[in-house]
């Protein structure tokens, strides 16, 4: 595992500078440091299993999986010290070391065996097997009267018979995700409908492009409790409980004015969440008429919809803005929203938890200053969890610090190309907010200090975008990837003609061409 400081090739001055930066960015908690040390030294800690609680074993297993520590030499120490009957959750997501050899070694341990983990699991409630090369044989033992969630996205070897076996054996399934199951065909959907019936509430088949009328009618007839469905609006009349609908980029639905009108006038009034991203709707009156019926709507996505201009946004927010917790109107080349349109967000949307306004070329954000002010945030927007202000020139360190202080549930922040933001603002976010995703690309003034703050204070960071941040070193990025528990995706591209060097006398960065 790589380290940021202490490589053996650094100077004394390097180490002093490193320690100073780490102190400025708050060190990791003692608990996290202890768990990290134990996980990396199981081979030399006597009877570690006896002194670790189950919850700590689960955390260490998760970290080892994300950091590819399940090697042939280290695996015996993992199975002996960490696997026990008391474990309730095991996360091995995206660990490429989990193969047949690994499972055989694990099964041979005296504590547990993932190879037969589904056998006799009568209390199993959730089954997530994403992007695995499993076949029907791997699902034979999945039988639980309590199973509610099955996520098989990306399991490209599963066919219709595999899905039939799952739904016939587990009629209590409420959530079923079959995205990217390329061998699944139209034949299976009537079988799903007939077996799951009233139980089925969430069905994701968003990449299935050829559903027959019989499949659609079967779902509409047998599954009246569907709440989330990612297919065409022909099902609306059969599903009176539909709450979540994503029609993003379904261009065929609005290719003519009559089809667009039919779509918008048939949107179920029960909807809580609606996404129309990318739909080429160009009639504002038609869009407003469709939206004003949805008085229960709490989440709305209208990214790149040509009909959305200042007046259209005003009319929509007058009708549904008061209950919205999530609004994304991020733009495109043809976007017609200006600061005047954004002013209605501040006046109509007082319950927002997420706001997306990136790529709005005519927007400075000046009309949002009130909603971002300290008192307004504390009183009206303290529940914000996601915020995208990318490209807004009025965003400064002061605004970011106010957000960080008052919105301590913020887990997703986008401030790409907000050139007035420096380390001061980013460090404040890292210390105060449980960030999982941070879009910081184009912040030319941030340095390793921001990255170290994220590494030491946001252990569950999953995504970091810092392309164009020339003052951030690769060493700092490596340190962050080591410190965070999940497998962090980092986008860090800088111009080929530039390289960043630290002046050890001053501690400052110098860009060399």
Least confident range from 41-55, 260-274, 315-329, 377-391: namely 377-391
Is the confidence at residue 276, as pLDDT, over 60?
yes
pLDDT tens digits, residue range 439-484?
999 999 999 999 999 999 998 999 999 999 999 999 999 999 988 8
Same domain for 109 and 159?
no
Q: What is the dihedral of CA 65, 67, 72, 75, to 10 degrees?
A: -50
Residue 104 or 154, more confident: 154
Same domain for 289 and 394?
no
Same domain for 146 and 191?
yes
Mean pLDDT for the stretch of residues 91-99: 73
pLDDT recorded at residue 507: 46
pLDDT recorded at residue 159: 92
Residue 253, in any domain of the structure? yes
Give the closest residue to 301 by CA, choosing from 283, 281, 285.
281
Residue 206, in any domain of the structure? yes
Same domain for 354 and 337?
yes
Question: What's the pTM?
Answer: 0.55
Same domain for 103 and 144?
no
Is the confidence at residue 437, as pLDDT, over 70?
yes
Same domain for 433 and 399?
yes
pLDDT tens digits, residue range 60-89?
888 888 888 888 888 888 888 887 767 777
SS3 105: helix
- Average of per-residue pLDDT values in the chain: 80
CATH number at residue 237: 3.80.10.10
Tally of structural domains, the chain: 4
SS3 273: strand
Residue 373, in any domain of the structure? no
Angle at the Cα of 367 (from 361 to 370), degrees rounded to 5?
Answer: 140
What distance in Å separates the CA atoms of residue 255 and residue 264, rounded to the nearest whole number? 13
Same domain for 113 and 127?
no
Which of 363, 398, 432 is the last residue before a domain boundary? 363
Residue 35, in any domain of the structure? no
CATH number at residue 431: 3.80.10
Residue 307, in any domain of the structure? yes
Least confident range from 184-193, 405-414, 468-477, 490-499: namely 490-499
Residue 305, in any domain of the structure? yes
Is the confidence at residue 171, as pLDDT, over 60?
yes
Written as six digits, the tokens of 210 are 């050829």
Same domain for 430 and 481?
yes
Which of 211, 242, 273 is the last residue before a domain boundary? 242
Same domain for 230 and 268?
no
Same domain for 255 and 182?
no
Same domain for 344 and 452?
no
Is the confidence at residue 119, as pLDDT, over 60?
yes
Residue 55 or 138, more confident: 55
Is the confidence at residue 155, as pLDDT, over 50?
yes
Residues β-bridged to residue 465: 439, 491
Mean pLDDT for the stretch of residues 256-277: 85
SS3 115: helix
Same domain for 256 and 354?
yes
Residue 384, in any domain of the structure? no
| Domain hosting residue 159, numbered range | 119-242
Least confident range from 298-307, 350-359, 449-458: namely 350-359
pLDDT recorded at residue 464: 96
Which of 210, 242, 274 is the last residue before a domain boundary? 242
Residue 369, in any domain of the structure? no
Residue 130 or 495, more confident: 130
């Amino acid at each position: 595992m790589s380290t940021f400081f202490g490589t053996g090739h650094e100077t004394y001055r390097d180490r002093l500078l490193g320690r100073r930066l780490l102190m400025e960015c708050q060190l990791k908690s003692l608990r996290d440091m202890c768990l990290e040390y134990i996980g990396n030294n199981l081979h030399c800690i006597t009877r570690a299993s006896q002194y670790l609680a189950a919850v700590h074993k689960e955390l260490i297993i998760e970290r080892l999986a994300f950091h590819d520590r399940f090697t042939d030499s280290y695996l015996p120490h993992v199975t002996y010290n960490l696997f026990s009957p008391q474990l309730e959750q095991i996360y091995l997501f995206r660990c490429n070391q989990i193969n047949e050899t690994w499972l055989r070694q694990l099964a041979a341990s005296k504590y547990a065996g993932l190879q037969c983990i589904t056998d006799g699991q009568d209390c199993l409630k959730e089954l997530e097997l994403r992007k695995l090369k499993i076949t029907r044989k791997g699902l034979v033992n999945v039988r639980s009267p309590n199973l509610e969630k099955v996520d098989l996205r990306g399991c490209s070897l599963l066919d219709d018979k595999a899905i039939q076996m799952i739904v016939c054996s587990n009629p209590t399934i409420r959530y079923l995700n079959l995205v990217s199951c390329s061998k699944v065909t139209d034949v299976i959907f009537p079988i799903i409908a007939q077996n799951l019936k009233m139980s089925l509430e969430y069905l994701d088949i968003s990449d299935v492009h050829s559903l027959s009328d019989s499949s659609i009618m079967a779902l509409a007839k047998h599954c009246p409790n569907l709440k989330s469905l990612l297919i065409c609006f022909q099902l609306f009349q059969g599903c009176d409980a539909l709450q979540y609908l994503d029609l993003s980029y379904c261009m065929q639905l609005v290719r003519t004015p009559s089809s667009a009108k039919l779509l918008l006038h048939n949107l179920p009034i029960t909807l809580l969440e609606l996404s129309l991203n990318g739909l080429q709707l160009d009639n504002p009156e038609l869009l407003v008429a469709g939206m004003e019926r949805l008085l229960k709507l709490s989440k709305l996505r209208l990214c790149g919809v040509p009909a959305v201009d200042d007046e259209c946004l005003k009319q929509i927010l007058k009708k549904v803005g008061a209950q919205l917790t999530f609004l994304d109107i991020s733009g495109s080349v043809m976007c017609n929203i200006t600061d005047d349109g954004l002013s209605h967000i501040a006046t109509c949307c007082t319950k927002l938890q997420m706001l997306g306004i990136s790529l709005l070329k005519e927007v400075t954000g000046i009309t949002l200053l009130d909603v971002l002010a300290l008192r307004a945030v504390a009183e009206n927007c303290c529940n914000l969890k996601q915020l995208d202000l990318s490209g807004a020139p009025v965003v400064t360190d002061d605004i970011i610090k106010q957000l960080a202080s008052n919105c301590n549930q913020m887990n997703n922040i986008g401030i790409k190309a907000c050139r007035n933001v420096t380390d001061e603002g980013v460090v404040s976010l890292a210390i105060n907010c449980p960030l999982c995703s941070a879009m910081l690309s184009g912040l030319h003034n941030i340095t390793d200090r921001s990255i170290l703050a994220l590494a030491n204070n946001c252990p569950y960071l999953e995504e970091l975008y810092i392309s164009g941040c020339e003052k951030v070193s690769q060493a700092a990025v490596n340190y962050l990837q080591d410190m965070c528990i999940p497998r962090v995706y980092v986008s860090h591209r800088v111009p080929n003609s530039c390289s960043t060097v630290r002046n050890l006398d001053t501690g400052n960065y110098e860009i060399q061409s």
